[in-house]
Amino acid sequence: MAAFPFEIKATEGKARTGVLRTPRGDIRTPAFMPVGTAATVKAMTVDQVKDTGADIILGNTYHLMLRPSAERVHRLGGLHKFMRWDKPILTDSGGFQVMSLSGISKLTEEAVTFSSHVDGSKHVLTPERSIEIQADLLGSDIVMQLDECVAWPAEEARARKGMELSARWAQRSKDAFGTRDSQALFGIQQGSTFENLRRESSDRLREIGFDGYAIGGLAVGEGHEAMCEVLDYAPGMLPEDRPRYLMGVGKPIDLVEAVARGVDMFDCVLPTRSGRHGQAWTWDGPINLKNAKFAEDESPLDPDSDCPASRDYSKAYLRHLFKAEEILGQVLLSWHNIAFFQALTAAMRAAIEEGRFEQFRRDFRARHLNAG
């Protein structure tokens, strides 16, 4: 019996909409999780994030364990109280960040040892320690197993080595997590772009048994088309009755195409990162507000949006803020982008429920496939 009930409400092809029910609130799927790397969604208050319609956010284990430290967050009442967010939080395991620091990390069967990018101090992260940080110290609602994310491109032998280590760490993560009613543990499918490895990874995860399943090792440079080729088969290898989470994705077109292939949950830093650099995501694709053509454009980003940042400020004003290097520009555009991603997932949920998702997908592809 999984910790959190997952109800699939409607399907169209492989696309599906549902609800993951947690003690801190329901998560409507497809769901986009804004990334709160260091206990903050950059440039936004938690009330702004809530007002966009977000049901869940993501916290970053690696950054929090280094600063202010997981132990300090625990002493201060846990991550929810610390950042004043009372809805669900998913934390990643820390593995992706550690692996990306390959120049200052060492991987063994037992653990990964690395140097802090903050102060150079040495740290050891095992599957057991990752579970302790997420579940016991931070108090996460959804906890991720520690895995190895292999860089792309990878030879099959290297991808197999990473997949097999991730599978062994999945079992250790499950053993350390045990059984909990108020928290869930997700396993992570690995295997790079090799279908046989993805299948073997899925089989091993299913044998262990998790509350949800993630698709890892994508959005690491392989590109949209290669990612979609993997998603043609990878989600279907995972249990139909549990949520499927595509990690680190991505652009709006990536979300739509992944939902069409059976994915339920996403996270990405793109909305706020784009917002800090003057890029706004819209229904017609991304626009760069630093361009001179917006200097006297009095229209808002989206007059029909419920988000004040999208509806109440002109493109001319937003451009002025960026040209003047005013912080408010980053705040407003990050707010708009998060609201757009939430509106996109809401639109997909409605389209699936009403049996018109395929038409929605075709229309969206026509506007976004080669944009951004």
Task: List all residues 6 or more positions away from 276 whose beta carbon is below 8 Å from its beta carbon.
Answer: 42, 43, 330, 333, 334
Specify the long-range contacts of residues 179-182, CB closer than 8 Å, at least 24 apart.
179/3, 180/3, 180/135, 181/3, 182/3, 182/23, 182/141
Residue 265 DSSP one-character state: E
User: Which among 92, 141, 147, 264 is annotated as catalytic?
Assistant: 92
**CA trace torsion 316, 322, 327, 331 (10° rounding):** 60
Residue 308 DSSP one-character state: H
Peptide bond into 178 cis (omega under 30): no
Phi, psi angle pair for 320, to nearest 5°? -55, -45
The answer to whether 267 is a known catalytic residue is yes
From the list 59, 97, 54, the residue with the least C-alpha distance to 78 is 59
User: Which among 147, 211, 264, 267 is annotated as catalytic?
Assistant: 267
Give me the residues paired with residue 244 across strands: 213
Instruction: Give the residue numbers annotated as catalytic, written as ranges.
Output: 92, 267
